Amino acid sequence: MKADAVVGVDSRGFDGGKLINGRKRHLVVDTLGLLLGVMVTAADFGDRTAAAVLLQRVADAHNGLELVWADGGYTGSLVGHCLAALSLVLQVVKRSDDQKGFVVLP
């Protein structure tokens, strides 16, 4: 989301990879699309770092949570962190390399 001129500089940033100037919203929803957690960060705050913090909050609030689906940007150490620290299985769902643009994934 583009930052308005009235938004303080300390709460916005620039993500060069995604070409986002402003803020990012990180969401956790259930399979019905109902909101379980939300976190707004400056654009230069790392997605995996934000995911770790947000998933900790969601896991604390929703004891029955066992499985989390995430897109391909959430690979790496976050998968191990979720299992070890939060007892959550983080399953990364990737689209095929042949697909371009938005694709609904299982």
Residue 31 has pLDDT above 60, yes or no: yes
- State whether residue 74 is helix, strand or coil: helix
Q: Helices in 1-106 by DSSP H: which ranges? A: 47-61, 77-86
Looking at residue 60, its amino acid is D
Q: Is 76 left (phi over 0), alpha (psi -120 to 50) or beta?
A: left
Q: What pLDDT does residue 34 have? A: 97
Over residues 40-99, the pLDDT tens digits come to: 988 888 889 999 999 999 999 999 999 999 988 888 899 999 999 999 999 999 888 888
| Domain edges within the chain | 9-92
